[in-house]
Structure 1
Amino acid sequence: MAVVHGVGQQYEGERSLQLTIAPALCDGIDHAGGVVPADDDIHVAFYGNLFREEDARGDEEPGEPRSGDNSVEAGLALAWWRAAAHVDPENVQSPDDVTDTRGKTSLTVKAALRALSMSRFATRATQRALLGELRQVRHYLYGDGREAVLEKVCAQIAPDTEVVVGHSLGSVVAYEALCALPGHRVRALITLGSPLGIRNLVFDQLRPAPSMGRGVWPGVGVQWTNICDRHDVVALVEQLSGLFGDGDPAVTDVRPSPGLAEGTEVIRDQTVDNGWRAHDLLRYLRASATGRAVHAGLTS
């Protein structure tokens, strides 16, 4: 199986991530009562180094994006800020209640990052790190980073890969990689803390492009489970059912079930509680819901 990581991994590597990701995923499978695979059966589809800026200054203060067009960062930051204020009101003030010295609402990227850094979503994350994550999303979806990332990840989904797990931006990469590999043999896609459902900024930028409000299904016979923490503001749209395949958006927490016929294009949306690290990859991997979905994909 392959795990596609999310943003913020530009200083890591495949082997270093493997040391933590494989045991965490095995723990999740064990918690679910499944048969635990060997660590070396779990492969990290690594692309983080493609986002490393060799000439970046480490002492830069967080601020507005360096490019002239900051609409993507601003749009995502504001959406995440509003979501964080909704789910974590004790720590995050709503952007509608924030004003500057002139009595005007301050809706800059920097203000959003400052608010997000106080939320349970971004525990221990600096404003600089959050800005870097926004830039990586923009670089992939709107810049020139997509082709190189997809080429690298597609090459790491082997003919014998049965399960693909994608976290955060990695869920977008995993989805697009499967769509770009006709005839792949992957049987299960598990998306964790996914922004795939964010209209306009993410969903409508997917390749292949959605048609009539529905995204393309990522392969014949693929079982898709989407898992999110309700406090994870990256997963702004908790339920992907109704956006892809034939699912009913009114149905929540659909568990893998023998009652669903093989080949049925229905996303099983499920929620978990990751505590104060709502978007944390390792906590997602250790969740029994993730373990059940992986085990189902390996044994179907």
Structure 2
Amino acid sequence: MRPKLVFVHGIGGPRQVDQERHRWTAALADGMRKAGHSDIAEDLANSDSPEIEFAYYGDLFTTPHAQGGDASLSATNELQLVSELFTQILAELETGDERLRLIVERATEELHPHGTPQGAGDVLRRLINAATTLLSVGPFALAGQWLSARLLVRDLAQVARYLARAEPDEDGSTLDRRVRDRVDAALGDDPAIVVAHSLGSVVSYEVLHCRRREIPLLVTLGSPLLMRSVVWPRVRPQPPRTPEQVRRWANFWDRDDIIVARPRLEADMLANSLGVLPASGRVDSDGAWVHTATKYLAHADVGGPVAETIRRLRRSDE
């Protein structure tokens, strides 16, 4: 069969789909070359094979579809989810550096000052204050991804908004459903290799549970699935288990990736009926901010399994 490769992105602002597809493809091809699969890498870079889809859903977080208002974060319960997410990220930050330790302590105090928050506006102010402090030093400051605290809160809020199962459009389809529909459409009707990053790993996990066609390989990068306070208890279905059609699941994490609270998914995930569990592997990237998808993709450990699966699928069609 002609292999199909589907990329699923994570949190962030608007993206140019063609540019992102090119960047992800180039990084993955680099990882394949490092793993000794130069022939597959060249085919990938030249768009010869496999067919490549970039499942884009970022515009759904900015388009005013929600009934009764725009698609901005405003509900108190969603803001509380963001606060819980922020709290867990702060708790997981490596604070060996004294200055960073003080910054984390200050941000935590700003996030949870004395007194009960008075509505959504108060929760949002606390989040922005804590984000402003966090952006002053450490990995967030060096990421170069957020020009302001409000943008950082906006992007982290995408996780909460997805899991809130709210913001219905005029047809009653909630935000999370519309996101899943985008990814499902990119997958199409044929077996596909899925490479999912960050929030995209959560979305893909849920989409693949509804698929009937085989998924030869699922690759998750920097996945927040095991964030205990926010993500793990809210993903569907429960209890979390490997989607039935997944034949292999390779999960990768970087020890400096602050979005990955607990990296080894196989420790808590149940197997599907074929006994498939995630196999987690650590990669080490350069720089202070390592959550970027292309940094993960450029590793041999990531490129290798994808190239091997493409090669196997080609041979099965000969």
Range into which the TM-score falls when normalised by the shorter chain: 0.7 to 0.9
Question: 2:199 is aligned with what amino acid?
Answer: L
Q: Give the equivalent residue in structure 2 for 1:289.
A: 301
Shift of 1:140: 0.6
Q: Give the equivalent residue in structure 2 for 1:129.
A: 151
TM-score (norm. length: structure 1): 0.80
Residues 1:110 and 1:2: Cα distance change in structure 2 (over 3 Å):
same
Deviations 1:82-127 (A, max 9, x none): 21244766535364566879xx679932343234322225621332
Name structure 1 gaps, 5 residues minimum.
56-64, 248-261
Does structure 1 retain, via aligned residues, the 8 Å contact 2:90–2:108? no
Shift of 1:241: 1.1
Residues 1:150 and 1:84: Cα distance change in structure 2 (over 3 Å):
same
Residues 1:71 and 1:150: Cα distance change in structure 2 (over 3 Å):
same
> Where do residues 75-114 of structure 1 align in structure 2 (5 Å cutoff)?
75-86=84-95, 91-93=100-102, 95-96=104-105, 108-114=126-132
Shift of 1:30: 1.3
Does structure 2 retain, via aligned residues, the 8 Å contact 1:159–1:185? no
Structure with greater proportional helix content: 2
Residues 1:279 and 1:87: Cα distance change in structure 2 (over 3 Å):
farther
Q: Give the equivalent residue in structure 2 for 1:50.
A: 60
Does structure 1 retain, via aligned residues, the 8 Å contact 2:28–2:303? yes
Does structure 2 retain, via aligned residues, the 8 Å contact 1:85–1:93? no
Task: Give the Cα–Cα distance (whole angstroms) in 1 for the partners of residues 200 and 108 of structure 2.
Answer: 35
Task: Give the Cα–Cα distance (whole angstroms) in 2 for the partners of residues 16 and 114 of structure 1.
Answer: 30
Deviations 1:188-235 (A, max 9, x none): 11110100011241011111121xxxx121123521111011111111
Task: Give the Cα–Cα distance (whole angstroms) in 2 for the partners of residues 158 and 186 of structure 1.
Answer: 12
Does structure 2 retain, via aligned residues, the 8 Å contact 1:166–1:192? yes
Task: Give the Cα–Cα distance (whole angstroms) in 2 for the partners of residues 284 and 151 of structure 1.
Answer: 26
Q: Give the equivalent residue in structure 1 for 2:35.
A: 32
Q: Please give the secondary structure, in 2, of the residue aligned with 1:165.
A: strand
TM-score (norm. length: structure 2): 0.76
Question: 2:158 is aligned with what amino acid?
Answer: Q
Q: Please give the secondary structure, in 1, of the residue aligned with 2:102.
A: coil
Question: 2:216 is aligned with what amino acid?
Answer: R
Q: Give the equivalent residue in structure 2 for 1:268.
A: 279
Matched, 1:189 2:235: no
Query: How many matched pairs?
Result: 269
Shift of 1:296: 3.2
Residues 1:99 and 1:2: Cα distance change in structure 2 (over 3 Å):
closer
Q: Give the equivalent residue in structure 1 for 2:24.
A: 21
Q: CA RMSD, aligned part only?
A: 2.8
Question: 1:38 is aligned with what amino acid?
Answer: L
> Where do residues 206-285 of structure 1 align in structure 2 (5 Å cutoff)?
206-210=235-239, 215-246=240-271, 263-275=274-286, 276-285=288-297
Matched, 1:5 2:25: no
Using the TM superposition, name which of 37-46 and 150-159 deviates more. Answer: 37-46
Q: Please give the secondary structure, in 2, of the residue aligned with 1:228.
A: strand
Task: Give the Cα–Cα distance (whole angstroms) in 1 for the partners of residues 97 and 114 of structure 2.
Answer: 20
Shift of 1:288: 1.2
Residues 1:240 and 1:75: Cα distance change in structure 2 (over 3 Å):
same
Residues 1:221 and 1:18: Cα distance change in structure 2 (over 3 Å):
closer
Shift of 1:5: 0.3
Does structure 2 retain, via aligned residues, the 8 Å contact 1:197–1:203? yes
Residues 1:297 and 1:263: Cα distance change in structure 2 (over 3 Å):
farther
Q: Give the equivalent residue in structure 2 for 1:253.
A: none
Shift of 1:263: 4.3
Q: Please give the secondary structure, in 1, of the residue aligned with 2:32.
A: helix
Question: 2:163 is aligned with what amino acid?
Answer: L
Shift of 1:265: 1.4
